[in-house]
Amino acid sequence: MRTHPPTTDPLDTYTLNMGPQHPSTHGVLRLLLTLRGEEIVTAEPVIGYSHRAHEKMAENRTYAQFLPNTSRQDYLSGMIYNFAWVEAVEKMAGIPVPERALVARVILAEFNRIASHLLWIGAFLLDLGAPTPFLYCWDDREAILFLLESVTGSRLTYASGRFGGLARDLDADFPRRAREVIAKLRARWPEYDRLIEDNVIFRNRAIGVGVLTRDQCRSYGVTGPTLRGSGVPYDVRKAEPYGAYPRFEFDIPTRPEGDVFARYWVRVQEMRQSVRIIEQALDQLPGGPFLEPGSIGVKKRLKLPVGTQYYAVESARGHYGILLVSEGGAEPYRAKFRTPSYPNLAVLTEAMPGTLVADAVAILGSTDLVMPEVDR
């Protein structure tokens, strides 16, 4: 922690731009660091370099036309974001969804969550100078992407949700292929433990670094693995159950330390819980239609009733909420998105002071930010 008292003397400190094109930011983020030697005195995130105006675009497109935009907010949780938009509209319009589609959405979303965590682990360790875990994670993630591609036709940005179900059904061989992927993941986890958690260099760079307290997380609105790494067991799938999640058993991994290592550990455990959910969903996958018979799908200009609707889901990064305001037209009057990366980025102003410049990469990476959902 801080080894010198804070100072405002301009001759004692200097500023350093980390980004907006630094490899460890994984996007156009600029951190304005005030330093005293190697020690960080203040850290100011500067955003806005990749603003795409998704919220404004939602007001100028029909509910169906906006479907592809959702997965471009968080391209690593694209499936979850896509289903969130569909489910928010379904709830407001009172559109029924077949049981098969509800369970299939959970399967696809949880595989998407695992793929996101795998990419994060690989890139995070690569930023810290460990290239081998990246190769392992990429290999496991590829197996998941091939599986999702067989259903959706996409590998990254998905638009397979439809109002009333899915664009395409899970084929008869999907459960077998899904279980093969799960077996591959389970076989790899002991290697991850030995390669990463038992590595003395990683432990020294992660344990006790970038500590976030419960109060800090709550005051900034931090959610997801970053919050659970500070000991708060909040998960939208449990706190505000949606879709088919209430019928499945799973735990919420937490650690009390609030440091870089805790945030890493929580994500690793979450992958195990996602596999647990998927296996239950595969066992309970019902027959029947994947799209509600007579459903409006995406073919017509759907008009929602006048009113306001808020709908939240648990993305790979935390609480993702959609606020829809309808005046009865075919386009939303207002669409406001509550994305987890924005508050998770803001809290870095509390986590970084007192640490070293080298720690900034570890702390930033441990929050698993996706900048396009910040600059939405």
For residue 323, count CB atoms less than 10 angstroms from its CB and return exposed for 0-12, middle for 13-18, buried for 19 or more: middle
pLDDT surpasses 90 at 21: no
Averaged pLDDT, 218-242? 97
Tokens of 25: 């930011």
Could you read off the pLDDT of 247-288 as tens digits, one per residue? Answer: 999 999 999 999 999 999 999 999 999 999 999 999 999 999
pLDDT surpasses 90 at 144: yes
pLDDT of residue 37: 93
pLDDT surpasses 90 at 122: yes
Helix (H, G, I), strand (E, B) or coil at 374: helix
Total number of residues shown for the chain = 376
How confident is residue 2, by pLDDT bands cut at 50, 70 and 90? very low
Tokens of 102: 């509800």
pLDDT surpasses 70 at 299: no
How confident is residue 19, by pLDDT bands cut at 50, 70 and 90? confident
Q: Where are the domains of the chain?
A: 14-374
This prediction has a pTM of: 0.94
Chain mean position to CA 218: 18
CATH T-level topology, domain 14-374: Cytochrome-c3 Hydrogenase; chain B (1.10.645)
How confident is residue 335, by pLDDT bands cut at 50, 70 and 90? very high
Q: What is the 3-state secondary structure (H, E, C) of 227-244?
A: HHCCCCCCCHHHHCCCCC
Contact 59, 49 (CB under 8 A): no
Could you read off the pLDDT of 51-100 as tens digits, one per residue? Answer: 889 999 999 999 999 999 999 999 999 999 999 999 999 999 999 999 99
